[in-house]
Chain A
Amino acid sequence: MSLEIGSFLSIGLILGVVIITAALLITVERRLLGFWQERLGPNRVGWFGSLQVVADMIKIFTKEDWVPPFADKFSFVIAPGIIMTVVLLSFAVIPFAPNIGVIDSNIGVLFILAMASLGAYSVMLGGLSSDNKYALLGSLRAAAQMVSYEVFMGISLLGVVALTGSFNMREIVESQADGWYIIPQFIGFVIFLIAGVAESHRLPFDIPEAEQEICAGYHTEYSGMKFGMFFVAEYIGLVLISSLITVLFFGGWLGPEFLPPILWFSIKAFAFIAFFILMRAAVPRPRYDQLMSYGWLFLLPLSLVNLLITGVIILSMQ
Chain B
Amino acid sequence: MIKLIVDTLLSQVRTLWLVFLKLFKKKDTVEYPDQQPYMFPRWRGRIILSRDPDGEERCVACNLCAVACPVDCIALQKGEMEDGRWYPEFFRINFSRCIMCGFCEEACPTNAIQLTPDFEMAEYIRQDMVWEKEDLLINGTGKYHDYNFYRVAGKQIEGKDKGEALNEAAPVDVRSLLP
Give me the interface of A with B, judged by CB distance under 8 Å: 35-40, 278-279, 281-283, 298
Question: Could you list some 23 contacts between A and B, CB below 8 A?
Answer: A35-B22, A35-B23, A35-B27, A37-B22, A38-B25, A38-B26, A38-B29, A39-B27, A39-B28, A39-B29, A40-B27, A40-B31, A278-B16, A278-B19, A278-B20, A279-B16, A282-B15, A282-B16, A282-B18, A282-B19, A283-B12, A283-B15, A298-B5
Partner of B22 from the list A36, A40, A279, A298 (CB cut-off 8 Å) is: A36
Partner of B27 from the list A38, A278, A281, A283 (CB cut-off 8 Å) is: A38
Given contacts A35-B22, A39-B27, A282-B18, 9 further A-B contacts (CB under 8 A): A36-B23, A38-B27, A38-B29, A39-B28, A278-B20, A281-B19, A282-B15, A282-B16, A283-B12
What is the chain A residue whose CB lies nearest that of B26? A38
Q: How large is the interface on B (under 10, 10 to 19, 20 to 34, 35 or more residues)?
A: 10 to 19
Known contacts A282-B15, A283-B12, A283-B15: does B20 contact A36 (CB below 8 Å)? yes
What is the chain B residue whose CB lies nearest that of A40? B29
Interface of B is mostly: helix
A281 to B25, CA, bound (A): 15
A40 to B28, CA, bound (A): 8
What is the chain B residue whose CB lies nearest that of A35? B23
Interface of A is mostly: helix
A40 to B20, CA, bound (A): 15
A38 to B30, CA, bound (A): 11
**Distance (Å) between the CB of A278 and the closest chain B CB?**
6
A283 to B16, CA, bound (A): 7
A279 to B18, CA, bound (A): 12
**Distance (Å) between the CB of B123 and the closest chain A CB?**
24
Q: What A residues does B29 contact at CB under 8 A? A: 38-40
A283 to B19, CA, bound (A): 9
A217 to B169, CA, bound (A): 78
Known contacts A278-B19, A281-B19: does B28 contact A38 (CB below 8 Å)? yes
Beta-carbon contacts under 8 Å, B2-52 to A? 5, 12, 15-16, 18-20, 22-23, 25-29, 31
What is the chain A residue whose CB lies nearest that of B28? A38
* Chain B CB within 10 A, most for which of A36, A40, A298: A36
What is the chain B residue whose CB lies nearest that of A274? B20
